[in-house]
């Protein structure tokens, strides 16, 4: 039978068995957990986070965790979107707990679009392929495996270690486990700080390590709806008062507006360090902008890079349009969705006010539900940052750790809203194209996964024993 190109590629792939992973016994045990998690479909409204969390709970019990240390949770309205909280008690009641956060839901993946089955872990060319192999099942599996290893070894932490595996991070309108815990079980997850996704590391095109990222703070994601309405009429008798044109004018105003440049502790350190690594003209513009955030000429130069532009300010962009009801009728309604990523410290309402000002009186702007919490600045606390950097120098010698503010969004924002600073830890290196995260053929280097596991295990032990 003739096989298409995608089918031929899939046929060449090697189905992974534990023997294909790594040689150490502890690595083989981890591989089983990781493989099971990746191969359990957790796409919202399709798969089951509840099933995935229960599988991990079973492994926890087999490692010696008591029922009292495990809290499975779900709500009746969303029975398949459940999660798991694990509490490993520390020996010093004066030491505040630490929290490990991971989300076990994944972005949807269509089999017909992928070269391999997205819900079968496949090893090929030194990579593991599958939906969630990075985002976020790599770190979630590492967190769960870390607690299992600590319990099996008889390790006694000084501070309590908590683990929260949740669902709903990838879908705006889904039940969000981290948000639910923050609102309904804050004492269960209370911690001095939390470690989360959002950091990592970057490889160059040849697979060489370039830089490590420590996420310290993030923007808040918020959608807004622009609506223009009109009585309409017959298209044979057009008038200037047209809902589509009014909406277009409003969207064009958003396109042409740049929110003011702002810095916080994290982005100030980020741009200070970056200024010495970029072309001279760009580096000079970064230094000028750090000295004077109102320097428009410097901002224009730095903002040519889309990532730098987003790091400097709140950004808003039109992402969806809908208008009209018939091809031969004047439009009675035109709508646009504008997606904003709001700089920490700025509120949803402040951004709404600016968007309404830009849209003008003929277009109504509203903030869509759900409204996420205001992003809060996270401190560059030396007690957190220095040990992370020191341990990274041991595991990844010569690779700098750069503090970054995420221009996307994670579930960390819900924890920060209840007073838990969240840090996206480094350690997991990915390709410069993001290795298919949220796209096709998501993959992670086998070596990167196991190197990350070793680093994060040591990191948890280090903070669990630190005074």
Q: Is residue 372 part of a domain?
A: no
The separation between CA 214 and the C-alpha centre of its own chain, rounded to angstroms, equals: 13
Question: Same domain for 49 and 63?
Answer: yes
- Looking at residues 197-202, what average pLDDT do you find? 95
Picking from 384, 395, 370, 378, the residue whose alpha carbon sits closest to that of residue 447 is 395
How is the chain split among helix, strand and coil, in percent rounded to 5? 40, 25, 40
**pLDDT of residue 238 exceeding 90:** yes
The per-residue pLDDT for range 396-445, each reduced to its tens digit, is: 999 999 999 999 889 999 999 999 999 999 999 999 988 999 999 999 99
Q: Is residue 338 part of a domain?
A: yes
Q: Is residue 137 part of a domain?
A: yes
Question: Same domain for 192 and 208?
Answer: yes
**pLDDT of residue 89 exceeding 80:** yes
Question: Same domain for 111 and 90?
Answer: yes
Contact by Cβ (8 Å): 12, 124: yes
Q: Indicate which CATH number applies to the domain containing 253.
A: 3.30.70.360
Contact by Cβ (8 Å): 54, 163: no
Q: What is the 3-state secondary structure (H, E, C) of 132-162?
A: CCCCCHHHHHHHHHHHHHHHHHCCCCCCCEE
| pLDDT attached to residue 163 | 98
Domain boundary (347, 367, 387) is at 367
Residue 276, C-beta contacts closer than 8 angstroms, at least 6 positions apart: 283
**pLDDT of residue 234 exceeding 60:** yes
Q: Give the separation between CA 212 and CA 205, rounded to whole angstroms.
A: 16
The per-residue pLDDT for range 101-134, each reduced to its tens digit, is: 999 999 999 999 999 999 999 999 999 999 999 9
Contact by Cβ (8 Å): 144, 163: yes
Q: Indicate which CATH number applies to the domain containing 401.
A: 3.40.630.10
Q: How many residues does the chain have?
A: 467
Q: Give the separation between CA 418 and CA 233, rounded to whole angstroms.
A: 52
Q: Is residue 195 part of a domain?
A: yes
**pLDDT of residue 282 exceeding 70:** yes
Q: Percentage of the chain with pLDDT > 70?
A: 95
Residue 389, C-beta contacts closer than 8 angstroms, at least 6 positions apart: 214, 401
Give the count of beta carbons closer than 10 Å to the beta carbon of residue 75. Answer: 12
Q: Is residue 163 part of a domain?
A: yes
DSSP string, 232-258: -EETTS--S--HHHHHHHHHHHHHH--
Write out the two tokens for 226: 């622009």
Question: Same domain for 69 and 167?
Answer: yes
Supply φ then ψ for residue 138, to 5 degrees: -65, -55
Question: Same domain for 237 and 186?
Answer: no
Question: Same domain for 170 and 55?
Answer: yes
Q: Give the separation between CA 419 and CA 467, rounded to whole angstroms.
A: 21
| pLDDT attached to residue 259 | 98
Q: Which of 73-77, 212-216, 373-377, 395-399 has the lowest mean pLDDT?
A: 373-377
- Mean pLDDT for the chain overall: 94
pLDDT band at 16 (very low <50, low <70, confident <90, very high): very low
Question: Same domain for 176 and 196?
Answer: yes
Write out the two tokens for 296: 């428009």
Q: Please name every residue paired with 366 in a beta bridge, in sequence order, or none if there are none.
A: 225
Question: Same domain for 18 and 163?
Answer: yes
Question: Same domain for 262 and 209?
Answer: no
Q: Percentage of the chain with pLDDT > 90?
A: 92
Q: Is residue 190 part of a domain?
A: yes
Total domains in the chain come to 2
Write out the two tokens for 207: 């697979």
**pLDDT of residue 284 exceeding 90:** yes
The per-residue pLDDT for range 34-61, each reduced to its tens digit, is: 999 999 999 999 999 999 999 999 999 9
- Looking at residues 305-311, what average pLDDT do you find? 95
Question: Same domain for 274 and 334?
Answer: yes
Q: Is residue 3 part of a domain?
A: no
Q: Residue 43 has what DSSP assignment? A: B
The helix/strand/coil state of 272 is helix
pLDDT band at 228 (very low <50, low <70, confident <90, very high): very high
Domain boundary (333, 367, 401) is at 367
- The residue segments making up the domain with residue 396 are 14-217+378-465
Picking from 409, 407, 205, 404, the residue whose alpha carbon sits closest to that of residue 306 is 407
pLDDT band at 343 (very low <50, low <70, confident <90, very high): very high
Give the burial class of 356: count Cβ atoms within 10 A of its Cβ; 0-12 exposed, 13-18 middle, 19 or more buried: middle
Q: Is residue 5 part of a domain?
A: no
Domain boundary (367, 395, 416) is at 367
pLDDT band at 21 (very low <50, low <70, confident <90, very high): low
**pLDDT of residue 197 exceeding 90:** yes
| pLDDT attached to residue 175 | 96
**pLDDT of residue 13 exceeding 90:** no
Q: Give the separation between CA 171 and CA 175, rounded to whole angstroms.
A: 8
**pLDDT of residue 19 exceeding 90:** no
Which residue has better confidence, 30 or 1? 30
Question: Same domain for 232 and 333?
Answer: yes
Q: Which of 18-27, 163-172, 244-253 has the lowest mean pLDDT?
A: 18-27
Question: Same domain for 178 and 251?
Answer: no
DSSP string, 209-232: EEEEEEEEEEPEEEEEEEEEE---
């Amino acid at each position: 039978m003739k096989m298409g190109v995608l089918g031929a590629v899939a046929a060449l792939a090697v189905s992974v068995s534990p023997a294909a992973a790594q040689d150490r016994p502890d690595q083989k045990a981890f591989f089983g957990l990781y493989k099971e998690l990746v191969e359990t479909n957790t796409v919202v409204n399709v798969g089951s986070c509840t099933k995935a969390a229960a599988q991990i709970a079973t492994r926890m019990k087999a490692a010696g965790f008591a029922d009292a240390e495990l809290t499975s949770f779900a709500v009746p309205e969303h029975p398949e979107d459940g999660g798991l909280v694990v509490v490993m008690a520390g020996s010093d009641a004066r030491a505040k707990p630490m929290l490990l956060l991971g989300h076990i839901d994944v972005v949807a993946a269509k089999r017909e679009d992928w070269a391999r089955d997205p819900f079968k872990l496949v090893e090929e060319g030194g990579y593991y392929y599958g939906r969630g192999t990075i985002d976020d099942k790599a770190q979630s599996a590492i967190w769960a495996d870390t607690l299992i290893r600590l319990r099996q070894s008889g390790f006694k932490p000084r501070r309590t270690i908590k683990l929260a595996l949740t669902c709903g991070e990838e879908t705006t309108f889904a039940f969000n486990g981290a948000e639910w815990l923050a609102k309904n079980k804050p004492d269960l997850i209370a911690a001095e700080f939390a470690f989360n996704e959002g950091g990592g590391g970057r490889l160059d095109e040849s697979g060489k390590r370039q830089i490590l990222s420590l996420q310290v703070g993030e923007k808040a994601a918020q959608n807004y709806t622009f609506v223009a309405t009109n009585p309409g009429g017959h298209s044979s008798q057009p008038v200037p008062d047209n809902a589509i044109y009014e909406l277009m004018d409003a969207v064009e105003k958003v396109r042409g507006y740049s929110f003011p440049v702002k810095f916080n502790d994290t982005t100030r350190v980020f741009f200070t360090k970056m200024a010495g690594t970029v072309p001279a003209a760009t580096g000079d513009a970064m230094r000028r902008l750090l000295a004077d955030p109102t320097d428009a000429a410097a901002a224009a130069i730095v903002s040519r890079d889309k990532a730098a532009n987003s790091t400097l300010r709140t950004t808003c962009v039109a992402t969806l349009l809908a208008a009209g009801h018939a091809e031969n009728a004047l439009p009675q309604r035109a709508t646009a969705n504008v997606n904003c990523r709001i700089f920490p410290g700025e509120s949803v309402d402040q951004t709404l006010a600016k968007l309404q000002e830009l849209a003008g009186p003929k277009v109504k702007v509203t903030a869509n539900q759900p409204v996420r919490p205001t992003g809060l600045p996270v401190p560059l606390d030396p007690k957190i940052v220095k040990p992370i950097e020191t341990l990274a120098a041991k595991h990844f010698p010569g690779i700098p750790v750069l503090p970054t503010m995420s221009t996307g969004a994670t579930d960390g924002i819900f924890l920060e809203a209840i007073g838990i600073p969240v840090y996206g830890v480094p350690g997991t290196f990915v390709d410069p194209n993001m290795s298919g995260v949220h796209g096709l053929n998501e993959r992670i280097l086998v070596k990167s996964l196991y190197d990350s596991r070793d680093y994060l295990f040591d990191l948890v032990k280090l903070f669990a024993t630190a005074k």
